[in-house]
Amino acid sequence: MQISLVSFTRLPSLTGLRFFAALGVFVCHAALLTARDEGGWPPPVLFLLGAVGVSLFFVLSGFVLTLSAQSTDTARSFWRRRIAKIYPNHLVVWVALISLFRWAGMPRQDNELPHPAPSWLGDLANALLINNLIPLPKFLFAGNPVTWSLTCELVFYLLFPLLIPMVMRLRQQWLLIAAIGAVAATWVIPLISLGLHGQLLPHGFMNGRLTAPQFGLVYGFPLSRLPEFILGMTLARMHANGSVGRIGVIPSVTLLAVCLPLGIAVLPAPFYFSAITIIPVALTVRAVASGDAHGARSLLRTPGMVLLGNVSYAFYLVHAMILAVTLYYCSGWGAVTSACVAFLVALVASWLLYTLIERPCFQRLTTVNHRPSSQPKQIAQSPITEPSSQG
């Protein structure tokens, strides 16, 4: 993978922003599980906070990987770092989850949609993070259901060595056009899905206006989410070149708060999951990065927020399982109390995963031993932050 070096500044606020993306997913699943206990469905705005969080993760991933790309890097070393980043935490959480639901007999309450019980083969496919590529109900939400987004990320990583030279060769005057094209692609996919007919998803999901094929195409199919990753790559070039003005963080977040309910009110359900919020999500990432580059004060880069951002990947992996366990064994505490307890337990568990598994495994798996006579080879590390893999 031969690429051109991209100039960058250290952007710790992007790390802190990752935690807010993970928090949106947590709120979504907490609302979903507590509403199910009461036989209902959460309001679409609350539920779609999770979709916003996932979209933010995808854009951030493309942004950070592009800024941290090294001219001396190779596809093999890039893939090795990405695998070292994703799999150790995932496999530890997978074993814990399978132990609970397969061997301890706890009901699977953490699944996002009603569907047939996952098979053992589906759970094993999830351990490899390939189950989302198999379009069968017993595979789709097998294992740890939130890891569907990791399958998307793995596809992005696989394509990154092919995409990065094309993005690097874009002239400055074409960057905005490329970003607009990525946004347009995010809108075209749900437009295409309107022609997909099938069984409506049950239990009031998206007010009963979404079919299973539509949901599978616009939400979980990796290539459908690729434009968000490419948009992040293009935004990184804009940031590095200092091209195109930026909108501040507060206006960007305000726009997000307006677009989400407005889009739900006027557009068909397939547009809810990324299309209606992709522009404010992109503006937010650009604004946060530009704020750091210009030395603006930011809560996101305080030590506490950077720590939360660092553990956000582990938090994403464990939160649904811990929510399900808490609501199952502590159902008499009330929904809000149980969700708060689950949040605190998930934070502790994610810190332990990050400290004991993620960080040491990444360091060990990305360290290359050389013969004494050879020159040490630089292992390309992200000087900004390790990009997230969630959902």
Beta bridge partners of 200: 211
* 356 belongs to a structural domain: yes
Top pLDDT among 202 and 306 is at 306
- Place 318 in a pLDDT band, splitting at 50, 70 and 90: very high
Per-residue pLDDT at 9 = 53
Q: Which residues contact 329 (CB under 8 A, 6 or more apart)?
A: none
Least confident interval from 94-108, 197-211, 326-340: 197-211
- Place 180 in a pLDDT band, splitting at 50, 70 and 90: very high
337, amino acid identity: T
How far is 380 from 164, CA to CA, in rounded Å? Answer: 15
Token pair in block for residue 359: 């960080």
Res. 201: pLDDT tops 90 = no
Least confident interval from 171-175, 232-236, 335-339: 335-339
Q: Where are the alpha helices (DSSP H) in the chain?
A: 12-37, 44-47, 49-67, 75-98, 120-127, 137-140, 148-169, 172-193, 212-215, 222-241, 249-266, 278-293, 303-310, 312-329, 335-353, 359-365
Per-residue pLDDT at 112 = 46
How far is 186 from 171, CA to CA, in rounded Å? Answer: 23
| 3-class secondary structure per residue, 184-197 | HHHHHHHHHHCCCC
* 5 belongs to a structural domain: no
Per-residue pLDDT at 347 = 97
Q: How many CB atoms lie within 10 A of CB 169?
A: 9
Q: HSE of 275 in the Cβ direction (CA atoms, 13 Å)?
A: 23
Q: Which residues contact 221 (CB under 8 A, 6 or more apart)?
A: none
Least confident interval from 44-58, 233-247, 253-267: 233-247
Per-residue pLDDT at 202 = 67
pTM across the whole model = 0.89
Per-residue pLDDT at 126 = 93
* 391 belongs to a structural domain: no
Per-residue pLDDT at 378 = 35
Res. 335: pLDDT tops 90 = no
* 377 belongs to a structural domain: no
> Which residue has tokens 């049950």?
202
353, amino acid identity: L
Mean pLDDT, the chain, rounded, equals 84
Q: Are 183 and 228 in contact (CB under 8 A)?
A: no
- Place 369 in a pLDDT band, splitting at 50, 70 and 90: low
Q: Which residues of 42-71 are buried (b: 16+ CB within 10 A; e: fewer)?
A: bebebbbbbbbbbbbbbbbbbbbbbbbbbe
The predicted-structure confidence for 87-137, as pLDDT tens digits, reads as follows 999 999 999 998 887 776 666 654 444 455 667 888 899 999 998 887 776
Q: How many CB atoms lie within 10 A of CB 12?
A: 18
Res. 246: pLDDT tops 80 = no
- Split into its structural domains, the chain has a count of 1
Among the listed residues 118, 51, 105, 282, the one whose alpha carbon sits nearest the alpha carbon of residue 184: 282
- Place 298 in a pLDDT band, splitting at 50, 70 and 90: confident
**49 lies in which domain range?**
12-365
Q: Please give the full DSSP string across 121-179, using - where no structure is assigned.
A: HHHHHHHTT-GGGS-SHHHHT-SSGGGHHHHHHHHHHHHHHHHHHHHHH--HHHHHHHH
Handedness of CA 336, 342, 345, 349 (dihedral sign): negative
Q: Is 200 helix (H, G, I), strand (E, B) or coil?
A: strand
| 3-class secondary structure per residue, 106-122 | CCCCCCCCCCCCCCHHH
Q: Report which listed range, 41-45, 163-167, 365-369, 376-380, is most confident.
A: 163-167
* 125 belongs to a structural domain: yes
Write the CA distances from 203 to 27, 38, 138, 251, 366, integer angstroms: 19, 12, 19, 35, 45
The predicted-structure confidence for 5-35, as pLDDT tens digits, reads as follows 334 457 899 999 999 999 999 999 998 887 7
Res. 241: pLDDT tops 70 = yes
pLDDT, mean of residues 252-280: 94
* 378 belongs to a structural domain: no
* 58 belongs to a structural domain: yes
Per-residue pLDDT at 22 = 97
Per-residue pLDDT at 7 = 41
* 382 belongs to a structural domain: no
The DSSP letter of residue 275 is G
Top pLDDT among 378 and 277 is at 277
